[in-house]
Amino acid sequence: MPTQPRRLEDLISIGPAMLRDFEMLGIRSVAQLARQNPQRMYERLNRVSGLRQDPCVLDVFCAAVAQARNLRLPAERCQWWYWSGKRKQRGKASGKDSVRRQNEKK
């Protein structure tokens, strides 16, 4: 019996709001999502929506694209907060967090 192709709503961390974001970006299938760059998706959504999206949206995009590319992705990497931790680690390594803290003190 042939397997049904995965749908966007089958991916972990993807709910109604994210499905609307995918629609705004013209992404309608898991195969299409697998060819995307999460950072570019995030930047494009900011432009298309006219709003600065919460950085956690980027984390959800990372989780979704990783799942779309890898059927056997470890469970922890399917969760958006795994990618949030990685983003925050990169921010610390690049010094962005210290700049942000300095700006918050002003």
Contact between 76 and 82 under an 8 Å Cβ cutoff? The reply is yes
Quote the pLDDT of residue 1: 54
Binned at pLDDT 50, 70 and 90, residue 33 comes out as very high
Binned at pLDDT 50, 70 and 90, residue 95 comes out as confident
State whether the Cα torsion 57-59-63-66 is positive or negative: positive
Quote the pLDDT of residue 2: 55
Average pLDDT over residues 14-21: 97
Which tens digits make up the pLDDT trace of 40-80?
A: 999 999 999 999 999 999 999 999 999 999 999 999 999 99
Distance CA 21, CA 103 (A): 30
Pairwise pLDDT comparison (94 vs 98), residue with the higher score: 94
Distance CA 100, CA 61 (A): 23
Q: Look at phi and psi of residue 26 and say left if phi exceeds 0, alpha if psi is from -120 to 50, else beta.
A: left
